[in-house]
Amino acid sequence: MGKKVTICGVDTSALPKLTQQQSNELLVKIANGDNSARSYFINCNLRLVLSIAQRYSYKVDNLDDIFQIGCVGLIKAVDNFRVDVGVRFSTYAVPMILGEIRRYLREGSVRVSRGVRDVAYQALQTRERLERESVDEASIEMIADEMKLPVYKVLYCLDAISDPISLSEAVYSDDEDSLSLEDHIPDKKCSESVWAENVTLFDALRSLDEKEKNILLKRYFEGKTQTEVSQEIGLSQAQISRLEKNAMSELRNGMA
């Protein structure tokens, strides 16, 4: 039995483990639009997110925050991964998870300017005063009119001081079922135009020779530098750079 780690309400020791064959079968189903396979596959790979998030535990007070940001990277990896590229999912997913976490740590918390905070607090005071003077609930339009400000500005300032909430936060729950905030967010990445672009891209990739294809996969799917690729393949960095440029040129011509 694995070591029990509970994070964001998830007991990672109880998560199912997948063989490589099972992973590939699920990824094929996901590519064909199977949402239940997608949810199950994401759940099975939460251990991967945890293993990466734990590297940054010393930088944050709450590991849950890092874990949730890492989950965003995992979801992006699942939605963009293609089995026919010939790369293991974990190899593709790790850089994306790391990228999301590093971006979060680099940008830090959103800082709200004093002017925005002042407008927001004034709006809260105005709402309180209007509701004291009337039995009705004060609308944003009423508050904006009282403050002589555009509605969009009042909404923007109030949103800016609102505490962020977890996508996993339950918005409805009963004895048999529950719905979280993420269940209400539409997936706009699976549009027909995006699907067509991906098909064109991978058709173009197949037209490259193995050496050029391998270089592009390592550079743009595994996130490696030209120096790292040159060490792995056994070519100079100048040769890697030239082959990469040639391959990118062929891709552009193939997708034109």
User: pLDDT tens digit string along 177-212?
Assistant: 556 666 556 555 555 555 555 656 677 777 788 888
Average pLDDT over residues 69-80: 90
Q: Is residue 242 part of a domain?
A: yes
Q: Is residue 170 part of a domain?
A: no
Q: Is residue 47 part of a domain?
A: yes
Does residue 35 have a pLDDT over 70?
Answer: yes
- Is 221 found in the same domain as 148? no
Minimum mean pLDDT range among 1-5, 75-79, 123-127, 129-133: 1-5
How confident is residue 173, by pLDDT bands cut at 50, 70 and 90? Answer: low
- Is 127 found in the same domain as 49? no
Q: Is residue 172 part of a domain?
A: no
Choose the final residue of a domain: 90, 109, 128. 109
- Is 105 found in the same domain as 127? no
- Is 104 found in the same domain as 11? yes
HSE toward the beta carbon, residue 206, CA cutoff 13 A = 11
- Is 101 found in the same domain as 35? yes
- Is 100 found in the same domain as 129? no
DSSP string, 2-66: PPP-EETTEEGGGS----HHHHHHHHHHHHTT-HHHHHHHHHHTHHHHHHHHGGGGGG-S-HHHH
- The tokens of 204 are what? 């173009």
Q: Is residue 168 part of a domain?
A: no
Question: Alpha carbon of 219 to those of 72, 91, 149, 215: distances in Å?
Answer: 22, 12, 50, 6
Range of the domain at 61: 6-109
Helix (H, G, I), strand (E, B) or coil at 173: strand
- Is 105 found in the same domain as 30? yes
Choose the final residue of a domain: 46, 79, 109. 109
How many domains does the chain divide into? 3
Choose the final residue of a domain: 74, 109, 144. 109
- Is 26 found in the same domain as 69? yes
Q: What is the pLDDT of residue 252?
A: 76
Q: What is the pLDDT of residue 1?
A: 39
Q: What is the pLDDT of residue 194?
A: 53
- Is 136 found in the same domain as 91? no
- Is 24 found in the same domain as 100? yes
Q: Is residue 165 part of a domain?
A: no
The answer to whether 194 and 181 have CB atoms below 8 angstroms apart is no
- Is 84 found in the same domain as 55? yes
Average pLDDT over residues 205-229: 82
Strands 170-173 and 10-11: unpaired
User: pLDDT tens digit string along 79-119?
Assistant: 888 887 778 888 888 988 988 888 877 665 556 677 888 88
Q: Is residue 38 part of a domain?
A: yes
- Is 196 found in the same domain as 215? yes
Q: Is residue 246 part of a domain?
A: yes
Residues of the chain above pLDDT 70, percent: 72
Full-model pTM: 0.43
The domain that holds 221 is classified in CATH as 1.10.10.10
- Among left, alpha and beta (phi > 0; psi -120 to 50; other), residue 94 is alpha
